[in-house]
Amino acid sequence: MTSTSAPRIAIVGAGPGGLTCARILQRHGIAVTVHDRDAGPDARDQGGTLDLHADGQIALREAGLLDAFFRLARPEGQEMRQLDPAGTVLFHHVPEPDERFKPEIDRGVLRGLLLDSLRPGTVHWGRTLRAVTGPADGPRQLRFADGTTLEYDLVIGADGARSTVRRALSAAEPRYTGVSFLEAWFHDVTTRHPDLADLVGQGSAAAADGERGLFAQRNGGDHVRVYVIQRVPADWIAAEGLTVRDTDGIRARLLDRFRDWSPRMRRLVSDNDGLYVDRPIFALPVPHTWEHRPGVTLLGDAAHLMPPLGVGVNLAMLDACELALALARHDTVDEAVRAYERTMLPRSVETARALDGAAEHLLSTELPDFAAAEQG
């Protein structure tokens, strides 16, 4: 994009996708502003760990951050154990010392890396977006909850599952998949939960019996997160007369539901430090596409929310990379967005179709494909 055009570009959402897009744009001399509803970078927990495979690493290379990423990542986090409800190890993958296929990094650490790479003042915090308005041929207007309105030539929606920017392109709403996560946190596991630390190892451990499952994930800082996976109504906690703050009541329900599992495995649902976090799993209808409209586009979960099966952040960062490069290489914003959407939409539809209904696989007793391949 020629410097004389000086388009006004806004990204809504300071997650990995939005920040990656901003970083690559700035590396190509393109000005950009990021708006995020959080009061600041530390306003809330950023979630657990994630693995960055080829797509995410390609984006970080374009962002000039791949070496920094490898210094912060935990390659040992690629360790994977598949257990049964008794706690017996069915499969165990131990990564090679130099394995870089999909190293783990805490979401907060990745976000910090991206934030620190941006020019000061790029991210405007405390900006809750209410609507995207403006004529079809632009410019677009962002209307915020504080009453302010800002005008841009391009609005990039990187604002996640409940995207406000999406409404300017699509009437689609995420639908409940029928599977829900309940997140439990364990701190100082080496000292306070040594049995759990030994069970999970340096990476992750999963177990399921067809109706319920557990996925335990080692995080940095000697933390472990456990995701209790259930096929339940999205409002199951309220339906049982509980609230998310009723830790004892939820714990009693979980111990009853996992009563046939071994005492060691049951500790994964009962010995957590603090409150549980309710995370019902939603996904956008498949396929989710839209007719091109000037001045607005989407990336990441805003464009293609899917079940959490290891592709979400990687796809978001690939989207971000391709959109930023398109804006750098085309003469106009509209040409760039059209080129980006021609590639991104078919890719996201193909991936979403492959994962449609796949949340149920989280409860399967079958070994993962990579485990079967190694055993074969």
Annotated binding site for FAD, which residues? 51, 107, 301
Name the region of 87 (left: φ>0; alpha: ψ -120 to 50; beta: rest): left
Q: Which tokens sit at 105?
A: 């990094």
Q: Which residues define the annotated binding site for NADPH? A: 44
CA nearest 213: which of 202, 198, 228, 233? 228
- Could you tell me if 68 and 113 are in contact, meaning their C-beta atoms sit under 8 angstroms apart? yes
The annotation places the binding site at 44, 51, 107, 301
Q: Is the peptide bond before 285 cis (omega within 30 degrees of 0)?
A: no
